[in-house]
Homo-oligomer: A and B are copies of this chain.
Amino acid sequence: MLRTHNCGELRIGDKDKKVTLCGWVQKVRDKGGMIWIDLRDRYGITQLIMEEGKSDAAVIESARKLGREFVLLAEGTVIERLAKNNKILTGDIEIKVSKIEILNSAKVPPFIIEDETDGGDDLRMKYRYLDLRRNTVRQNLELRYRVGIETRKYLDGLNFIDVETPVLIKSTPEGARDFIVPSRINPGEFYALPQSPQTFKQLLMVSGFDRYYQIVKCFRDEDLRADRQPEFTQIDCEMSFITQEDILNTFEGLIRHLFKVVKGVEIGTLSRMTFADAMKYYGNDKPDTRFEMKFVELDELVKGKGFNVFDAAELVVGIAARGAAAYTRKEVDELTEFVKRPQIGAKGLVYVRVNEDGSVKSSVDKFYSEDELKKWAEKMNAQKGDLILILAGEAKQTRGALSELRLEMGKRLGLRDKNKYSCLWVVDFPLVEYNEEEKRWFAMHHPFTSPKPEDIHLLKTDPGKIRANAYDMVINGVEVGGGSIRIHNRDVQEQMFKTLGFTEEEARAQFGFLMEAFEFGAPPHGGIAFGFDRLCALFGGADSIRDFIAFPKNNAGRDVMIDSPSHIEQKQLDELNIAVKKK
């Protein structure tokens, strides 16, 4: 090694040692007679010191040539600092430099390489290799590494084994769009990149692998919304000879382990909520349960009093925002604007203030007496000082809008604390949902999810009523993982494809290998996949996954650093037997 120590490890106990350090110049302070350099590497910062007259003239001369981000090799002796710095672990010592070698020079970086940077997103992404020098970004990736290795430790301890599944697989039209890869050796044919290793992990169960995991790249060619990446990473797991209960316990254990070792937080036992309750009380299948503010349905109390908006509504439902009765007119107007935004789509907002003096005041006083309003408050368990917010309309849409409003109120009231964690399982999802546009049933999770045995008879007659053995893990309103018990019986799988509108030929062409596998002794099995990027962002207390990925793509799917995707040579296209279409 060019160095004897890294920049984070020397302590007062190393005093008088001759050492060699390597690293980047974080800062140079030249006070006439004295020069200090903060030398930085991944492990920390160590201060170098030189003194005119005392240090070698060549050393002083070298030091005066240095700029930010120069790469140095410095030899010297560990001495005790006069002015200690208790903010860094090496703060008791400094290095009295006897020799400096410039290993590489550096142009002035396009943005400041510190925790708070002046680099905007575009610049940071173009020079991602410089952005990654910043402590904050590097620490995110170190956290990601730790989550990964602790995941492996936990699963290894339970006899799970990592089996690599192929990346060049087969395109299947069900679900999101595939990325495809032309085959040169098989002209006119294409591989697809996996959206998940789903069928392969199921086949591993058929093979008797019993417990499988993989931390694996997956791919979806979707229109990129904020914070979606075309390639993303899953913690992908599958087990045989289990019930849903076993899966929930095993992977609740994983998350408990990760919170403990990575965050030092004990999260205890996860609560469970049915999909039906999540929709009823939170209007959302991934409720943020860091705060209560549950939905209360008011139809019985509010209808038939001449207020047409409520009378005509399929659903009237409200929340009580603790301590928000003092909201100004302007603040309430803001909330009204919030729910009327097109992406939320409510027609209006009814409020009821439950004042500190016990009086009640609403935006619909014309239609309801104070006594009536008090009954609403009572049903909603609203206290003095609360603000009741009510939406009305078509049931599904209204729940969705109220869910957004609830989250907004949670944010405004400071109830969505990044350092608090509320984890739960949402269970008993519907197996399928009807798509009005395409006029057919779609799998809520995927076509391999097993119906609950007691609901299986409804497959042919009333699929919408079937509950699935499916479950999502939700933390702070984010779905971090989801999975299901799988179908392991050929007939049920065939019936499922039929329900989803596959012809027999389509089912056979796309998933014939899986259905055939089920005939050769498939064990009962099930599994789960966690969104690894998202989980890491959650542990890091960030909203965006982007800074938990070393080299992310932007919202147009571009890597602006390497400038990809890009045009390729005609020769490559010819070899692949494809052509780019003329506009």
A110 to B49, CA, bound (A): 76
A233 touches B193 (CB 8 A): no
A219 to B103, CA, bound (A): 34
Q: Which residue of B lies closest to A183 (CB)?
A: B565
A563 touches B513 (CB 8 A): yes
A457 to B355, CA, bound (A): 85
State which of B187, B217, B523, B575 has its C-beta within 8 Å of the C-beta of A167.
B217
**A439 interface residue per 8 A CB criterion:** no
Comparing A27-35, A56-64, A241-249, A495-503, the segment that makes contact with chain B is A241-249
A109 to B517, CA, bound (A): 10
B241 touches A163 (CB 8 A): no
Are A567 and B190 CB-contacts (below 8 A) given A1-B241, A106-B521?
yes
**A580 interface residue per 8 A CB criterion:** yes
Are A170 and B208 CB-contacts (below 8 A) given A1-B242, A163-B141, A522-B104?
no
Which residues of A, 186-207, contact B by the 8 Å Cβ criterion? 186-193, 199-200, 203-204, 206-207
Interface string of A248-269 (1 = CB under 8 A from B): 0000000000000000000000
How many subunits of this chain does the assembly comprise? 2
**A443 interface residue per 8 A CB criterion:** no
Contacts of A576 in B (CB 8 A): 180
State which of B2, B168, B489 has its C-beta within 8 Å of the C-beta of A241.
B2
A559 to B194, CA, bound (A): 14
Contacts of A18 in B (CB 8 A): none
Most buried by B among A128, A129, A142, A179: A129
**A88 interface residue per 8 A CB criterion:** no
A41 touches B208 (CB 8 A): yes
B104 touches A562 (CB 8 A): no
State which of B190, B204, B569 has its C-beta within 8 Å of the C-beta of A565.
B190
Interface string of A546-570 (1 = CB under 8 A from B): 0001110100111101111111110
**A173 interface residue per 8 A CB criterion:** yes
Are A149 and B162 CB-contacts (below 8 A) given A138-B209, A171-B572?
yes
**A295 interface residue per 8 A CB criterion:** no
**A166 interface residue per 8 A CB criterion:** yes
Which residues of A, 134-151, contact B by the 8 Å Cβ criterion? 138, 141-142, 145, 148-149
Most buried by B among A71, A133, A166, A185: A166
Comparing A223-231, A418-426, A475-483, the segment that makes contact with chain B is A223-231
A230 to B520, CA, bound (A): 29
Contacts of A186 in B (CB 8 A): 556-558, 565
Q: Which residue of B lies closest to A245 (CB)?
A: B1
B223 touches A185 (CB 8 A): yes
State which of B161, B173, B521, B553 has its C-beta within 8 Å of the C-beta of A24.
B521
State which of B41, B166, B188, B207 has its C-beta within 8 Å of the C-beta of A129.
B207
Are A563 and B170 CB-contacts (below 8 A) given A180-B181, A551-B165?
yes
A173 to B109, CA, bound (A): 30
A240 to B43, CA, bound (A): 13
A253 to B135, CA, bound (A): 30
Contacts of A132 in B (CB 8 A): 203-204, 207-209
Q: What would 13 more interface pairs be, CB under 8 Å, given A2-B242, A166-B559, A171-B568?
A: A3-B241, A104-B488, A104-B522, A129-B206, A129-B517, A141-B163, A170-B564, A170-B565, A185-B224, A190-B565, A191-B565, A204-B550, A513-B562
What is A's interface to B at a CB cutoff of 8 Å?
1-3, 6, 22-24, 40-43, 69-71, 73, 103-107, 109, 127-130, 132-133, 138, 141-142, 145, 148-149, 152, 156, 161-171, 173, 177-193, 199-200, 203-204, 206-210, 217, 219, 221, 223-224, 230-231, 233, 240-243, 246, 488-489, 513, 517-524, 549-551, 553, 556-559, 561-569, 572, 575-581, 583
Could you jot down 28 A-B contacts, CB within 8 Å?
A24-B208, A41-B210, A69-B521, A71-B522, A73-B241, A104-B521, A104-B523, A106-B519, A109-B520, A127-B520, A129-B520, A132-B204, A138-B207, A141-B161, A145-B163, A149-B156, A166-B553, A168-B564, A177-B184, A177-B575, A180-B181, A180-B182, A181-B565, A203-B551, A217-B217, A513-B561, A578-B578, A578-B580
